Structure 1
Amino acid sequence: MIICIGAGPGDIGYLPRRSADLIANADVVAGFNAVIDVVRPLIPDSAQVIQMGYRDQVAQLDEVAKLHHAGKNCVVVFMGDIHFSGFQYLERVERACGHPVETMPGLSSAQVLASRAKVCFDETTFITFHRRGDLTPFKRHLVHVLQDQRNAIVIPCPWDEARSFMPWHIAAYLLENGIPADQQVEVWENLTRGEAEWHGTLAECAEHRCSDMSIMLIRTKTPMASQIEPSHLPTPEQAQ
């Protein structure tokens, strides 16, 4: 068996029980260094741990695939939820194995942010720039999302200085493409691990610096009106 699991937003307390059981019963646990550090208390002493970074991930996943084909129970651990920012990594796992693999979803920082900031995903679009390849289509999509009067939850692209697209880069890009300077923005850092939150305008965000462990919420200027039925309780004036 080989299965890919989402390990949540950096706090083992957010790991689903089924995922914890899979790790506890694995012969092999693999993942990026930071993710392995999160789940290490659950890894049995008998398990082989394969850690990797961006530069050696292909070679290390080839080693995981060999162990899988040798009959070992292998778990590959992703940060957050696999299908939020990990889809390219999932593609690498499947390429190494030569076949589709089972996935177990996890809790994403985007979901935690939606809870903290009290925004509804029905009225919000999620976009991640934490990916390889051309970011241009996703940048254009973000502009259209805001023009369509929707909230946007955005994961920046931090790891490569040559192509980083951090919150201040994102704000500058949106200003250049006609999004109003007074659009309200929040930047949250280290969700679930001593959170720091920043609130301001898009123009102010272009000057704000934050860490790699950040996620943005850009609020719509025209929130959707409530669509629940009117309250039947009397107003204070009616009660008099």
Structure 2
Amino acid sequence: MRSSSDAGSRPGKVDSAKEDIPERHGSRSPGTLKVIGLGPGNSDYLTPSARHALKEADVIVGYKGYIELIDTDILQDKNVISTGMRGEIERCLKAIDAAMAGKKTVVVSSGDPGIYGMAGLVMELLHEKNLLHKVEVEIIPGIPALSAAASLLGAPLMHDFAVVSLSDLLTPWEVIKKRLITALEADFVIVIYNPRSRKRNWQLSEALKLVIEYRGGAVPVGIVRNAARTDQQVSVVRADQVDAESIDMLTILFVGNSKTRQRGEFMVTPRGYLDKYGHR
């Protein structure tokens, strides 16, 4: 396992200044609503567009763990609205209210807001409230966690791949299982998000059983925890050597396809250039 204690500096905790936002949309001109991706966590990977949106914002809304990833100097003099887990709808509604009250409002997600982030929920709520035409909305992409994690493993995603979340909070396990089996049968490299939590502690073991059944125990699996954050950890092991008990929600797994190989400390899925063209 490779680890790093200086992969990225995590800002200290920021007290959330929860200020009441008018819940009824008055006659004031609407502000703006931007949904941004913070990237994997290291401020070096925050895009210029996302940083600019944060600096220009009157109101910043997000999960408290993600708010802590933002540099404290950016948060100064901002109205910061944060909630814990499962407060997504509450947060997005407050952001919409703030934008309709004329505020420059930013909703933050980790990674990219359009990949298991808040972009979809914001758009759904705006549509439900018939507000899509009344507020200026912009989705600002970020570097996805899977891209940061893949770079640490080397080159695991050089060919077709599928991304599957093992969280059954919003998706039934039978649907997740069917998607996993389909991806395994199709020989996709598989990226696994949300592999295991304290309460959801059995799904990963079941997923690994499927991996071994369809791909064999020797297929390489890349394991990345805290990609581009403090205490970053990276390893490549055989599927039958994965310690499910050591995996948590800060971890992403990469299951190789039939061509994926471990090369030293790295994981490589060939694109096919050498097979087709050879080399001198």
TM-score, shorter chain, exceeding 0.5: yes
Q: Does 1:93 align with 2:93?
A: no
Alpha-carbon distance in structure 2 between the residues aligned to 1:222 and 1:63: 47
Where structure 2 has 5 or more consecutive residues not aligned to the other structure, the ranges are: 1-31, 261-269
Q: Summarize the Cα distance change of 1:92–1:165 in structure 2 as closer, same or farther, 3 Å threshold.
A: farther
CA RMSD of the aligned region, Å? 2.5
Match in the other structure for 1:226:
273
Q: Does 1:51 align with 2:71?
A: no
For residues 155-192 of structure 1, what are the alpha-carbon distances to aligned partners after superposition, in whole Å with 9 as ceiling and x for unaligned? 1344571x4566444213434x5442222212111111
Alpha-carbon distance in structure 2 between the residues aligned to 1:149 and 1:173: 13
For residues 45-69 of structure 1, what are the alpha-carbon distances to aligned partners after superposition, in whole Å with 9 as ceiling and x for unaligned? 2210000123433233322222111
Q: How many residues align?
A: 228
Q: Per the alignment, in what secondary structure is the counterpart of residue 38 of structure 1?
A: coil
Q: TM-score, normalised by structure 2?
A: 0.72
CA contact (8 A) 2:59 2:80 kept: yes
Alpha-carbon distance in structure 2 between the residues aligned to 1:213 and 1:207: 13
Q: Per the alignment, in what secondary structure is the counterpart of residue 273 of structure 2?
A: coil
Alpha-carbon distance in structure 2 between the residues aligned to 1:157 and 1:230: 38
The partner residue of 2:193 within 155, 180, 201 is: 155
For residues 177-226 of structure 1, what are the alpha-carbon distances to aligned partners after superposition, in whole Å with 9 as ceiling and x for unaligned? 54422222121111112321233222222655223210001111334532
Q: How does 1:120-199 map to 2 (within 5 A)?
A: 120-130=157-167, 132-159=170-197, 161=199, 163-164=200-201, 167-175=204-212, 178-193=214-229, 194-199=231-236
The partner residue of 1:216 within 240, 253, 272 is: 253
Higher relative contact order (CA 8 A, sep 6+): 2
Q: Does 1:14 align with 2:51?
A: no
Alpha-carbon distance in structure 1 between the residues aligned to 2:255 and 2:86: 32
The amino acid that maps onto 1:230 is G
The amino acid that maps onto 1:187 is I
Match in the other structure for 2:240:
203
CA contact (8 A) 2:61 2:82 kept: yes
Q: TM-score, normalised by structure 1?
A: 0.82
CA contact (8 A) 2:38 2:142 kept: yes
For residues 16-67 of structure 1, what are the alpha-carbon distances to aligned partners after superposition, in whole Å with 9 as ceiling and x for unaligned? 0110000001000000011111114353422100001234332333222221
Stretch deviating more after TM superposition (149-158 or 33-42): 149-158
CA contact (8 A) 2:184 2:211 kept: no
